[in-house]
Amino acid sequence: MPLPRRYAIISDIHANIEALEAVIADANSQHIDEFVCLGDVVGYNAAPSECIRRIRKLGSKVVKGNHDHYCSDPDVNLDDFQPNAASVIEWTRRNISESDTIWLHGLPFTAAIMGFTAVHSTLDSPEHFRYAFDTLEAKDSFAYQRTRVCFHGHTHVPCIFRRASAGSEVEKLAATNGTLDAGNYFINVGSVGQPRDGDPKACYVIFSMMSLTELSVEFRRVDYDIESAARRIEKAGLPERLITRLYTGQ
Ligand code: ZN
């Protein structure tokens, strides 16, 4: 594929169609060549089939998130889940078609895209959906990273982990825009449909590859119709806490 190339990296949509549409519109206004989705298309919000349809239409690479797994695999036993979480998963299972269920179930855990990697959680055991909040957890993932850059989601909190060289310590940097210096990067793109960093605006990343070595990231925050998303949750009878989170971004 010819360079330069611009990717919109989106994650944790969580059945929030209002946020997803706003992010797609914003990305298209930024002259994106391609979308990449890091999973959790469903769960928490109340428009799962709309989001699956929209993502499938984008024709982007998609990797599997834990909610995609729970909602598409009837063998996942919900007894150990918190009642609120279990009720949303059960509701989602009932509200997506068989074809959507098969599609979610068949998603891969990781994807190699031109010169970079996509995963929902971490590369050391992507099927166990571990959280990478700190440098120790990121270090485990770096051990399995074969590309200079890997994008992930899962925590809903955008940030940048950097390792200057194979033997050096991993550092955690704030989610700031700019060119990537030398070293390897494990970058969390935040969440489209349920941000948890205190900013309720939808979050995603534009990754620009000017050449194979000249790379930059831009974290974008996008306003969307939270009220409409909240009304859907209410109408579906899903837990009220899911509405509050959208407004507070926590
Ligand atoms: Zn998620």
pLDDT tens for the chain, residues 1 to 250: 788 999 999 999 999 999 999 999 999 999 999 999 999 999 999 999 999 999 999 999 999 999 999 999 989 999 888 888 899 999 999 999 999 999 999 999 999 998 899 999 999 999 999 999 999 999 999 999 999 999 999 999 999 999 998 889 999 999 999 999 999 999 999 999 999 999 999 999 999 999 988 999 999 999 999 999 999 999 999 999 999 999 999 9
71 alpha carbon to ligand 1 midpoint, in Å? Answer: 13
DSSP class of 169: P
How far apart CA 245 and CA 250 sit, in angstroms, is: 5
4 alpha carbon to ligand 1 midpoint, in Å? Answer: 30
6 alpha carbon to ligand 1 midpoint, in Å? Answer: 24
Q: How many residues does the chain have?
A: 250
32 within 8 A of 7, measured Cβ to Cβ: yes
CA distances from 197 to 203, 245, 246 (A): 10, 11, 11
> In 3-state terms, what secondary structure has residue 37?
strand
Which amino acid makes up residue 165? S
22 alpha carbon to ligand 1 midpoint, in Å? Answer: 18
CA distances from 160 to 111, 163, 175, 178 (A): 19, 10, 6, 12
pLDDT at 82: 87
pLDDT at 167: 84
What H or E segment, with its residue span, contains residue 229? Answer: helix 226-236
pLDDT at 171: 97
65 alpha carbon to ligand 1 midpoint, in Å? Answer: 7
**Is residue 183 classed exposed, middle or buried when 0-12, 13-18 and 19+ CB atoms within 10 A define those classes?**
middle
pLDDT at 114: 86
195 alpha carbon to ligand 1 midpoint, in Å? Answer: 9
Which amino acid makes up residue 51? C
What H or E segment, with its residue span, contains residue 10? Answer: strand 5-10
How far apart CA 25 and CA 191 sit, in angstroms, is: 16
138 alpha carbon to ligand 1 midpoint, in Å? Answer: 17
pLDDT at 80: 86
166 alpha carbon to ligand 1 midpoint, in Å? Answer: 29
118 alpha carbon to ligand 1 midpoint, in Å? Answer: 15
Which amino acid makes up residue 36? V
247 within 8 A of 230, measured Cβ to Cβ: yes
66 alpha carbon to ligand 1 midpoint, in Å? Answer: 7
Residues 6+ away with beta carbon under 8 Å from 129: 65, 66, 69, 120, 121, 154
158 alpha carbon to ligand 1 midpoint, in Å? Answer: 12
What are the beta bridge partners of residue 22? none
43 alpha carbon to ligand 1 midpoint, in Å? Answer: 8
- The radius of gyration of the chain from alpha carbons, rounded to an integer in Å, stands at 17
User: Per the confidence metrics, is the pTM higher than 0.95?
Assistant: yes
